[in-house]
Amino acid sequence: MSSLHLPLIHLDAELVAIDKPPGLLVHPSQLDAHEQVTAVQLLRAQLDAPVWPLHRLDKATSGVLLFGRSVEVARTWGRAFEAGRVRKRYLALVRGWPAEIGCTQQPLARDPERPSAGQPHLPACTRWRRLACFEWPFQVDARHASSRYALVEVEPTTGRRHQIRRHFKQLGHPLVGDSTHGKGAHNRAVARWLGHSRLWLHALALEWTDGPRPLRLAAPCGPEWQGLLPAGAATHNLPPMPDLPTDSPRCCDTSPSP
């Protein structure tokens, strides 16, 4: 992967964004100390200039990844991400059929790699909208002759590590292809059915519309997603996520902080 040319989806004097392929670390990590190639390293070589990652994507996640081209830009955007001003939208394939729309605000332990007992738990909030339901004719659970999955659009309004993956596990709808928080039998069965093995999580779009310079970025899904996508999703033209029903907890206010 050291010769990989990263696809650019935005480039100007201050910012650069790539469509990160799955399987690529953003920056060096002690958890993957054997990995010698990172997105930061590749992009610096590709541009022959320094860059600073402005947010995180898990190694197995694909999609929009934004970098600053100066320390000042990185600082400004870093504060915006921390304040929740930058909206991020993902597509995910999950087990089962979750509610059509919903929101969870279950606090998450700071470090997902360690036992949660004794750790501080941080506020975390994730909204979702179900886009499509599937019932595929293969058996994973002995109780059922077929297996159910759903495509969801997800908007995390906080940025905890593995937030989407952990929240959907808590909801009983773990992401397909998640070797840490999912179930291997389902991961293998879907990989055979779709002919592709991956974590089914893609960072579809990112936007900061009330910043000093409004920006909207999007990364189209790879070809492995095409058979799953409803109209509009493939070209990131989904309508705005609807409000929750009035009897649902208003846990995910996405309005910018003052």
**At 8, which CATH number?**
3.30.2350.10
| pLDDT for the residue numbered 112 | 75
Domain membership flag for residue 257? no
Question: Residue 256 falls within a domain, yes or no?
Answer: no
Question: Taking residues 185-214, what's their average pLDDT?
Answer: 94
Alpha helices by DSSP H, the chain: 39-47, 71-82, 163-170, 184-194
Asked if the model's pLDDT at residue 252 lies above 60, the reply is no
Count CA atoms closer than 13 A to 172's CA, side-chain side. Answer: 5
Answer for the pair 149, 96: CB distance below 8 angstroms, yes or no: yes
Q: What is the mean pLDDT of residues 128-147?
A: 95
Contacts for 150 with CB less than 8 Å, ≥ 6 apart: 93, 94, 96, 97, 98, 130, 131, 132, 133, 134, 173
Domain boundary among 83, 99, 119: 83
Whole-number Å distance between alpha carbons of 88 and 90: 7
pLDDT of residue 258: 32
Indicate if the pLDDT at residue 237 is higher than 70: no
**Residues constituting the chain:** 258
Q: Could you give the residue ranges of the DSSP H alpha helices within 1-109? A: 39-47, 71-82
Give the Cα separation of 73 and 65 in Å (integer): 15
**Is residue 258 one of the residues assigned to a domain?**
no
Contact by Cβ (8 Å): 217, 207: yes
Would you state the structure tokens that stand for residue 179, as one six-digit string? 């070797």
Tell me the pLDDT band of 4, cut-offs 50, 70 and 90.
confident
- Are residues 48 and 114 both part of a single domain? no
Q: Is residue 29 part of a domain?
A: yes
> In the beta sheet, which residues pair with residue 126?
104, 156
User: Of the residues 55, 83, 111, which one is the last residue of a structural domain?
Assistant: 83
- The average confidence (pLDDT) of the chain is 88
Provide mean pLDDT across the span 130-153.
96
How many independent structural domains does the chain possess?
A: 2
Asked if 64 and 206 count as a contact pair (C-beta separation under 8 A), the reply is: yes
Q: What is the mean pLDDT of residues 208-237?
A: 82
Q: At residue 246, does pLDDT exceed 60?
A: no
Please pick, among 58, 111, 141, 210, the residue that the annotation labels catalytic: 58
* pLDDT above 80 (res 133): yes
Q: Are residues 49 and 121 in the same domain?
A: no
Structural domain span for residue 33: 1-83
Share of the chain above pLDDT 70, in %: 84
**Residues 72, 162 within the same domain:** no
- Position with higher pLDDT, 241 vs 50: 50
Let me know whether 147 and 48 are in one domain. no
Q: Is the pLDDT of residue 131 over 80?
A: yes
Residue 44 within any structural domain of the chain: yes
- Residues 78 and 35 occupy one common structural domain: yes
Confidence class of residue 233 from pLDDT cuts 50, 70 and 90? Answer: low
**Position 214 pLDDT exceeds 80:** yes
- The per-residue pLDDT for 31 is 60
What is the DSSP code (8-state) at residue 51? Answer: -
Bridge partner list, 97: none
Domain boundary among 60, 83, 106: 83
pLDDT of residue 230: 79
pTM of the model: 0.88
pLDDT (average), residues 234-247: 59
Alpha-carbon radius of gyration of the chain: 18
Q: Is 111 a catalytic residue?
A: no
Give yes or no: residues 123 and 11 share one domain: no
Is residue 237 exposed (0-12), middle (13-18) or buried (19+ Cβ within 10 Å)?
exposed
**Tell me: the pLDDT tens digits for 82-117?**
888 999 999 999 999 999 999 999 999 877 777 677
Q: Is 70 exposed, middle or buried (0-12, 13-18, 19+ CB in 10 A)?
A: middle
